[in-house]
Amino acid sequence: MLCNNSTSKKTTLFQRIALIILGVFLCAILLESGLRLGGFIFLSLQEYRNRISLLQKETYRIICLGESTTAMRGGHSYPSQLEEILNKRNIGVKFSVVNKGVPGTDMATITSLVEGYLDKYKPDMIITMIGINDMGVNIPVKYDDVLARKPLLFFRTLRVNKLFKLIRLHLLNKIKETNTARAKQEKKDTVLPIYELAQFYNNKSNPAKVFSRPGDFKEQGEIFFEKNTAAKFEDSAEYVRLGCNYRKQGEYDRAEKAFQRAIEIDQENDNAYLELAWNYIFSNNGTDPKIIEGLFKRGIKINPINYNAYLGLGRFYTYQRNSNMANEMFEKAMKVDPKNEIAYIELGELYGSQKEYHKSIEMLGKTLELNPKNYRIYRRLTFYYNVLGEYENAKEMNNKANKLILQYYDPTLCYNYRKLNDIVTKRRVKLLCVQYPMRSMEPLKRIFQDKNDIIFVDNEKVFKEAVKRDGYTEYFDDMFGGDFGHCTARGNHLLAENIAKAILKEYFHK
């Protein structure tokens, strides 16, 4: 009898626990349904207005995918100029071109975002000029590795989950406000706040406007850091990582807030200042150069042996055409890390821009001692030897580059590119593949050798002829690709014209 009573009590206890769990689950379902109904009504009205607006425009919509070569230069980027050129042709079709280039991104990330772009913009055509960040330097990531994380988005998209997070964030913010007030009293004069830093470097600006304090933080994009950010809302390093992820996806405003949040949590986090500076550079949002310079200097002051801080400031001075200061920063970077090839490359390019070609060749030679498999350096050396008229040396460098050129398209890159094509084709959207300026079209065509419905745009001949006629610097700002670089406004115009010609001829028969 005792045993039976004990079993009965245990069963009753388990039943109670089960009923509590079931009740919580049913409440969550009801709450989720209510929240989704409200959201559905709001989004339906919003979508209705958006559709009316889109129907009125009646545009042939094109999305340009790529990295910094697509994203940068704002109104002078090739997508912006492409839209202008196409509409000036007056073929009876109004064109709308969307620039979805993201500096520093890779093929896997771009491919993982394509379906979202197709859903949002409903394009008629996708233009790609991608792959350079997967070639030779970085290890390519497979599309499936990025995609595998996406099922986690289901939980994050639940309204109940977001409601609980808002409540949790509210409680954490209250605790944070108390702790921050206490910390400010204890450390009142120890660190120069970021607002004062902005004021120091730009007295005419409004620091409160440039460095806005976010009251809360939107979490879209955190899927990449699911395991790390779940319980670390006060971890400065996690916000830096989150900001880098936002920037990789082109979400510069959210990236800015993440980096600022990292600085608020820890004003001694040197990387947060550096990443915020790069975010302003990549976003091209008109931030005063003195503020950007100040952020790099702040990072150096906090950590005088941070290689990336000197490298970043050197690049910044290069953009500002301050060669002396750029030279000084690159040399300091070399002293901090003598085995890192990037500073040698940057200094070699700096000498090249000053037409000190022998110095450039000497510096790039040191780079090859560190990394003899860097095909881009052989491309640079080919160019400089040709300029000097040393054609035999140029030929030797070109042959070495060609041997390494077989690594242009890593199998993972090819897989990702074909996957992108499959996604686009299933949605019956036209695909136009653009090769980088100065580059041969053949390696790109080999990726899609069994595809006859893709249009390829060859930019080798047109750019080589233009460079031979007008000089390299008329069309490129640098030589980051070895035989090409980021285009000037004129270079982007040439690129846009060549692409427009292919679109009108192949798709519109004009």
Res. 156: pLDDT tops 60: no
Residue 317 pLDDT level (bands cut at 50, 70, 90): very high
Res. 4: pLDDT tops 80: no
The rounded percent of the chain whose pLDDT value lies above 70 is 70
Res. 302: pLDDT tops 80: yes
Give the Cα separation of 234 and 176 in Å (integer): 8
Residue 187 pLDDT level (bands cut at 50, 70, 90): very low
* Across 399-406, average pLDDT: 71
By mean pLDDT, which of 114-123, 249-258, 499-508 is the weakest? 249-258
Q: Is the dihedral of CA 312, 221, 422, 143 positive or negative?
A: positive
Give the Cα separation of 173 and 484 in Å (integer): 49
407 or 216, which is more confident? 407
By mean pLDDT, which of 52-66, 428-442, 462-476 is the weakest? 52-66
Domain with CATH 1.25.40.10 in the chain: 153-304
Q: Under CATH, what is the fold of the domain 57-140+410-506?
A: Rossmann fold (3.40.50)
Give the Cα separation of 261 and 419 in Å (integer): 36
Residue 139 pLDDT level (bands cut at 50, 70, 90): low
Residue 175 pLDDT level (bands cut at 50, 70, 90): low
pLDDT tens digits along 81-136: 999 999 999 898 999 999 999 887 888 889 988 999 999 889 999 999 998 887 65
Residue 217 pLDDT level (bands cut at 50, 70, 90): very low
Residue 466 pLDDT = 92
Give the Cα separation of 7 and 305 in Å (integer): 68
Res. 452: pLDDT tops 50: yes
Nearest to 81 by CA among 502, 431, 476, 494: 494
**C-alpha triplet 17, 22, 26: angle, nearest 5°:** 150
Res. 297: pLDDT tops 80: yes
Res. 61: pLDDT tops 90: yes
Pick the CATH number of 153-304 from 3.40.190.10, 1.25.40.10, 1.10.460.10, 1.10.10.60: 1.25.40.10
Q: CA 108 → CA 111, 243, 443, distances in Å?
A: 5, 19, 19
Residue 457 pLDDT = 95
Cβ neighbourhood burial of 29 (10 Å; 0-12, 13-18, 19+)? exposed
Region label for 424, one of left (φ > 0), alpha (ψ between -120 and 50) or beta (otherwise) = alpha
Residue 408 pLDDT = 53
| b/e burial code for range 460-496 (CB count within 10 A of at least 16 → b) | bebbeebbeeeebeebbbbbbbbbbbbbbeebbbbbb
Domain with CATH 3.40.50.1110 in the chain: 57-140+410-506
Res. 5: pLDDT tops 50: no
Task: Output the six-digit token pair for 456.
Answer: 């390829």
Q: Across-strand partners of 247?
A: none
Residue 33 pLDDT = 63
**C-alpha triplet 457, 459, 464: angle, nearest 5°:** 165
**C-alpha triplet 16, 21, 26: angle, nearest 5°:** 125
Residue 439 pLDDT = 84
Res. 41: pLDDT tops 50: no
Specify whether the CB–CB gap between 317 and 290 falls below 8 A: no
Residue 164 pLDDT = 54
Res. 329: pLDDT tops 90: yes
Give the Cα separation of 508 and 93 in Å (integer): 10
The full length of the chain comes to 510
**C-alpha triplet 183, 184, 189: angle, nearest 5°:** 120
Alpha helix positions (H), 66-220: 68-71, 78-88, 107-121, 143-147, 153-157, 159-186, 194-201, 207-210
Residue 57 pLDDT level (bands cut at 50, 70, 90): low
Residue 142 pLDDT = 61
SS3 328: helix
Res. 273: pLDDT tops 60: yes
Residue 295 pLDDT level (bands cut at 50, 70, 90): very high
Give the Cα separation of 342 and 261 in Å (integer): 29
Q: Crossing angle of helices 307-319/289-302, nearest 10°? A: 160
β-bridge pairing 59-66 and 94-101: parallel
Res. 280: pLDDT tops 80: yes
Res. 27: pLDDT tops 50: yes
Alpha helix positions (H), 389-481: 391-404, 411-426, 442-447, 460-470
Residue 250 pLDDT level (bands cut at 50, 70, 90): confident
Give the Cα separation of 277 and 50 in Å (integer): 35
pTM attached to this predicted model: 0.51
Specify whether the CB–CB gap between 213 and 150 falls below 8 A: no
Amino acid present at 304: P
Q: How far is CA 434 from the centre of its chain?
A: 19
Residue 56 pLDDT = 38
Cβ neighbourhood burial of 346 (10 Å; 0-12, 13-18, 19+)? buried
Residue 145 pLDDT = 59
For 482, phi and psi rounded to 5 degrees? Answer: 95, -60
Instruction: Give 64's contacts (C-beta < 8 A, 6+ positions apart).
Output: 70, 78, 79, 82, 97, 98, 99, 100, 101, 127, 129
Residue 46 pLDDT = 29
Res. 80: pLDDT tops 90: yes
By mean pLDDT, which of 219-223, 375-379, 492-496 is the weakest? 219-223
Contacts 24+ apart (CB under 8 A), 52-59: 54/122, 57/94, 57/96, 58/94, 59/94, 59/95, 59/96
Residue 275 pLDDT = 92
Res. 305: pLDDT tops 50: yes
* Across 350-355, average pLDDT: 88
